[in-house]
Amino acid sequence: MTTRGHLDECVHCGFCLPVCPTWINWGEEMDSPRGRIDLLRGVRDGKLEFDGPVALHLDRCLGCMACMTACPSGVRYDLVIEEARAQRELAVPRGLFDRLHRAALFSLFPYPRRLRLAAALLFLYSRSGLQWLMRATGLLRLVSSRLATLDALVPRIGTASLASGLPARLPAAGERRARVGLVTGCVQGVFFPNVNAATARVLVAEGCEVVVPPGQGCCGALSTHAGRLDEARRLVRGLIERFEAVEVDVVVINSAGCGSHLKDCQRLFAGDPFEPRAAAFSKKVRDVNELVDSLPPRAVRHPLQARVAYHSPCHLGHAQRLTAPPRALLRAIPGLELIEIADGDQCCGSAGIYNLVQPASADQIGARKAAAVLASGASWLASANPGCTLHIQRQLRERGATIRAAQPIEILDASLRGRTEPDGG
């Protein structure tokens, strides 16, 4: 008897369709989780070639995992799509521009030092008037819609982005409740340094000793989700080794996509001698919202008058099934009014590098999210993932609207410090 693969767990009920952003986009079966599984079964059973159209429908999947929340049969779509993406790279060669674009992304994002250099260039680009010129003339869009998308996404770079970070150890305020290692991330650390600072401050205030292992690189999440598994193994192994050197009770992460990958990274080492070390590390990983929510509050929450809409990042809500902790953390702040966004469990279209490689689809999805955010009447958007925040802010900007955005942990930090609003935004 053959082993039952994940593809066979799908009973074709269709419950995944209405939650799939691309099915909502086009109403087509091939761009639904059920359809993609069907395509992969067809390929496996020799009824279909792994050709351009099959690759196209796989490429259009955001990997948001909303289908996993909806699936009554418990299909492991995360594993299905990850494996399919690895196969896809081998089966259907990408065009030259696509290859270069991806090569550029994957040789930039995972490396904080390169990102910091890029941030410096972007700082000059945005302040020199060149960005204004490129946008005003539409020159960039003429060259490439992908580059234009990248340009539109770039956050406002502050000088904090250009320096690297946090001290290696911060003692707990009061009696120590845990010794926590902080993953500083790549994009998070460079483009949103305030988030790491806020994370560290909240943890310290709540009685955690915070350790920041030096020399951290990317955790490999982007590579894993794109099916670049060798690269992912190399990156996550490097990160795990840094954390093994500092001995902590908990590894805390404030980026949802990275967290879901790190909680499950031992899979990448199945049968490898490194597997038990990866498993030991995975067990310690907690999202910052999850960790703070699990600690009985110790620090005083000062009132914060704000109407805050919470955007649930897919890798937190669907992949890690953490929907309650970030909301609980916000609700505990006096004066803060927590607002739900309509269809709040749906992806915003950012999805790792999806908005960079599938801009048209990402825009369609983002437009729905932007409309829902605007309709909520919130003054702040709380999102626990940097990619989502950038994408939603860009969608709003293009509609002539703005909303101040911060991570829940930054908002909590502001409350603990008695500020009227978070540092970022």
Partner 1 sequence: MPESHAEIETDELARRMSAVVGEAHCISDPAGLSVYECDGLSHGRIRPRLVVLPASTEEVVEVVRLAHDAGVPLVPRGSGTGLSGGARPTPGGVVVALSRMRRVLEVNLEDGWVRLEPGVINLDVTRAVQGRGWYYAPDPSSQSICSIGGNVAENSGGAHCLKYGFTVNHVLGARLVLDGGEVVDLGGPSPDTTGYDLLAALVGSEGMLGIVTEVTLRLLRKPEATRTFLATFPSSDEAGEAVSGIIAAGILPAAIEMMDTLAIQAAKAATGLNWPEVGSILLMDVDGPLAEAEHTSAAAIGIARSAGALEVRIPVDEAERQLMWKGRKSAFAAVGRLSPNYMVEDGVIPRSEIARVLREIGRMAGEAGLRVANVFHAGDGNLHPLVLYDARNPGEEEKAAKLGGDILRLCVRLGGSITGEHGVGAEKAAYMADMFAPEDLETMFLVRCAFDPEARFNPDKVFPTPRLCGERPGPYRPHPAEAAGLVERW
Among 6, 44, 48, 162, binds partner 1 (CB under 8 A): 48
Residues sharing a CB contact under 8 Å with residue 41, sequence separation 6 or more, in sequence order: 7, 8
- Establish if 79 lies at the interface with partner 1 (CB under 8 A): no
The 3-state DSSP class for residue 252 equals strand
Point out which residues pair with 304 in neighbouring strands.
Answer: none
Classify residue 83 by burial, with Cβ atoms within 10 Å: 0-12, 13-18, 19+: middle
- Establish if 74 lies at the interface with partner 1 (CB under 8 A): yes
Pick between residue 44 and residue 234 the one whose CB is nearest to partner 1.
44
Pick between residue 47 and residue 270 the one whose CB is nearest to partner 1.
47
Contact status, residue 69 vs residue 18, Cβ threshold 8 Å? no
Degrees (nearest 5) of the Cα angle 396, 320, 165? 65
- Establish if 38 lies at the interface with partner 1 (CB under 8 A): yes
- Establish if 425 lies at the interface with partner 1 (CB under 8 A): no
Closest separation in Å from C-beta 12 to partner 1: 4
Give me 344's structure tokens: 């709040």
Distance of CA 253 to the CA centre of its chain: 11
Among 21, 33, 54, 415, binds partner 1 (CB under 8 A): 54
Closest separation in Å from C-beta 43 to partner 1: 9
Q: At what angle do helices 359-376 and 145-153 cross, to 10 degrees?
A: 30
- Establish if 324 lies at the interface with partner 1 (CB under 8 A): no
Residue (of 3, 91, 73) closest to 33 by Cα position: 73
Pick between residue 13 and residue 130 the one whose CB is nearest to partner 1.
13
- Establish if 375 lies at the interface with partner 1 (CB under 8 A): no
- Establish if 18 lies at the interface with partner 1 (CB under 8 A): yes
- Establish if 26 lies at the interface with partner 1 (CB under 8 A): yes
Strand arrangement, sheet containing 336-340: 336-340, 306-311, 380-383, 404-406
Closest separation in Å from C-beta 73 to partner 1: 3
Among 46, 72, 296, 400, binds partner 1 (CB under 8 A): 72
Give contact residues for partner 1 (rule: CB under 8 A).
1-2, 4, 8-15, 17-18, 26-30, 34-35, 38-39, 42, 47-49, 51, 53-54, 57, 70-74
